[in-house]
Amino acid sequence: MRLIGRQPSGRYLAICVVAGVVTIWPVTWLSTSSWGAPPPSPTEKSAEAVRLEPVVVSASRIEQKLRDVPANVTVITREEIQQSPARTVDDLLRQIPGFSLFRRSSSLVTHPTAQGVSLRGIGPSGVSRTLVLLDGVPLNDPFGGWVYWSKVPLESIERIEVVRGGGSGVYGNYALAGVINIITRRPEARVAQAKLDLGTRNTVDADLMASHVRGPWGASVEGSFFRTDGYKIVREDQRGKIDIDADSSHETFNGRVEYTPSLASSLFLAGSFFHEDRGNGTPLQKNSTEAGYIATGGRLGTADGSTWQFTLFSHLQTFNSTFSAAAPDRNSETPALDQFDVPSTAVGANLQWSRQVHPAHLLTAGTDLRWIDGDTNEDFRFASGQLTRRRKAGGEQQLVGVYAQDIFTLIPRLQVTIAGRLDYWRSFDASRVEQDKPGVPPTGIPARDTPFPDRDEAAFSPKVALLYHATDELSLRGSFYQGFRAPTINELFRPFRVRNDITEANENLKPERLIGGEVGMDYTIAKNLLGRLTAFWNEVEDPIANVTKGVGPGTIDPCGFVPAGGVCRQRQNLGRTQIRGVEAELEYHPFVPWTLSGTYLFNDTEVLSAPNQPVLEGKRIAQVPEHQFTLKLTYTNPALVNVSVQGRYVGDQFEDDLNSLKLGDFFVVDLMLWRPIAIPKVSAGEVFLGVENLFDRTYEAGKTTDGIVTIGAPVLVHGGIRVRF
């Protein structure tokens, strides 16, 4: 295996070209957006709320009415997206109970490798235990499983479907805790729209989109730019000379073409290019990413009533990041690790068949596969003023799955869903090579060239769910499921560093397996009061966690030298963890212009067994708060002003596996004001003003062993204009 970085510039030029290529897929007629049409009267709004039955696709991979889905599903509509001051998808999703990233901070200032998503507290590390889809195609990073939330501009989203509860029965890998499907807006005839959003801390968010439909053809293009100076992420009383603003900027370009010759058939081609640069809070800590994506596929209905769908997609990406060791007074830092090239490539495909075989049976079956190749090229071990060692580690993975599902209407009010999936995972051509960096004095440390043995494993993930419509107002549901997640190339082979804390990879990690269930009800308590209650229980076998191995200063296996105040951790499989909890949601419409909603999550987590680290038994799972709730009040009066106020509470949690680093609870309030305006020669316009963290609450987002506390985002005021031609 070569010990030099790949040169990806040529392929990125190709990606840029491909991303702009026009495309083909079914034209889904969309209603005009809330700001793009004259405001409906209160009676029209009430009638529309009664008329429309939301249709979701994420729970079972086929279209179903929301009331017929035997799972806890939340749909964030286009209207709700525009009513939020959030600038990224992850900040928008924090209103969902149980949604969390590895760190409490927004993805705008968080290192990409800490942006893994979890639902209901399953998973105490940066990798995702939730499958994130973009129009049905995996958005999770193929190398590490985290999610680049900034890849998807909010202006491009039509709705987001969040399915909580095990989804491995039809989706397989990553869907341990559920599925998040981001569905983008489809082309419309002769439409162009633009948004300009300016805010404090030199924040700029600009988006331009154009689309057209002619006959069976539809096409759209979008360009998005974001920049912010960020803020100093270390708590004020602990800052030194090296602490600077954690700034970030990114650009996204999306292109899509759709071809729909008939209602039964369609094709599409879509692509995107994404570039991001970040400063991580000190002069020596930076990272950047370039990523390209292309997908094609289609849908075909046959004479026997079958529907066939296929998708073929590919991701190409490179990532680099630098890490440093800070002096105790934080007035100086020295290089610690330079991951100068972390390239990855992924290719995947899905083929699915569905058919209403009998009035009582809706059958679905399919297969999908994914091939991933990735490695890390990095320099480390600082001595004599430079990094002296070079390391290359990585390998390839294959994931293949087949699945089948039967949605069986036993009696008119009782629906049973039976699903099962068989997954095969293979890790191969993996190795770790270390040697002195070219051009430096010999270190005297022997070179290492370790090939890792090929590994493979199979897993079966069943699911059984029941939905009973007891009355027109009350529905009862329950489900039992198992899940599977294979370790990523990142977990197996890539170490990382957060200030003086070092986390090592582990090539011997085993896949995680989950068994769980839930019961719940959806109840229309009164005509204007809706309630939902869900109780869940999950156990994860062989969960992968960052396990503490020792505290510096000194040499600690497997991390090597750990500086004073630092800690050595390694990714390891624990024995078993348990996650139990209750979700409650209410939505109340006291009067036509007013909406009040609230959500609450109680999450009780525990490490049941950890044979390699018995001290962890009985501890809470790291990074999982016990209590979360949100309250939201919305007032809509387009003739005057529209107002949305949301408060979000997150209970205390532990930063580390030993439960020695506690992060306190916090409550933040966000505010959004918007109003349609008339602009000459513009079909629709809107002005808006948003305030995030309205009362400028300072709260803990992270903590290191030496006591350095990072904080969440302070108050951000931003506003702008949105126009549609």
Instruction: Give me the residues paired with residue 277 across strands.
Output: 249, 288
Contact 543, 512 (CB under 8 A): yes
The CA distance from 654 to 577, in Å, is: 16
- List C-alpha distances in Å: 350 to 96, 403, 458, 603: 29, 11, 19, 35
Q: Where are the beta strands (DSSP E) in 280-413?
A: 286-301, 307-326, 333-358, 361-383, 386-411
Q: What gap in Å lies between CA 297 and CA 24, rounded to an integer?
A: 8
DSSP lists the bridge partners of residue 465 as 417, 479
Measured CA to CA, the distance from residue 576 to residue 610 in angstroms comes to: 7
d(CA 655, CA 663): 7
> Looking at the DSSP assignment, which residues form a beta bridge with residue 457?
425
Please give the pLDDT value at position 41. Answer: 37
* Greatest distance between any 2 Cα atoms in the chain: 81
* DSSP states of 624-655: --SEEEEEEEEE--TTT-EEEEEEEEE--EES
pLDDT at 123: 75
pLDDT at position 124 is 64
Task: Classify residue 680 by its DSSP letter.
Answer: T
Q: What pLDDT score does 98 carry? A: 83
pLDDT, residue 32, reads 30
Q: What's the pLDDT score for residue 499?
A: 66
Peptide bond into 558 cis (omega under 30): yes
Instruction: Map out the domains of the chain with their CATH numbers.
Output: 9-474+483-724 (2.40.170.20)
What are the two backbone dihedrals, phi and then psi, of residue 60, each rounded to the nearest 5 degrees?
A: -130, 10
Amino acid code (one letter) for 450? T
Positions in the chain whose pLDDT score sits under 50 = 1-51
CA 11: distance to chain centroid? 26
Apex CA 603: angle with CA 598 and CA 604, to 5°?
A: 155
Per-residue pLDDT at 46: 38
Beta bridge partners, 548, equal: 569
Question: Where does 130-189 have alpha helices with state H?
Answer: 168-171
Whether the CB-CB separation of 608 and 641 falls below 8 Å is answered with no
What's the Cα-to-Cα distance from 670 to each of 35, 197, 666, rounded to whole Å?
Answer: 21, 16, 13
DSSP codes of every residue in 433-485: EEEEPTTS----PPPEEEEEPPEEEEEEEEEEEEEEE-SSSEEEEEEEEEEEE
Angstrom distances, CA of residue 199 to CA of 8, 78, 202, 247, 593:
35, 22, 6, 14, 28
Question: What is the pTM (predicted TM-score) of this model?
Answer: 0.90
Relative to beta strand 265-279, strand 286-301 is antiparallel
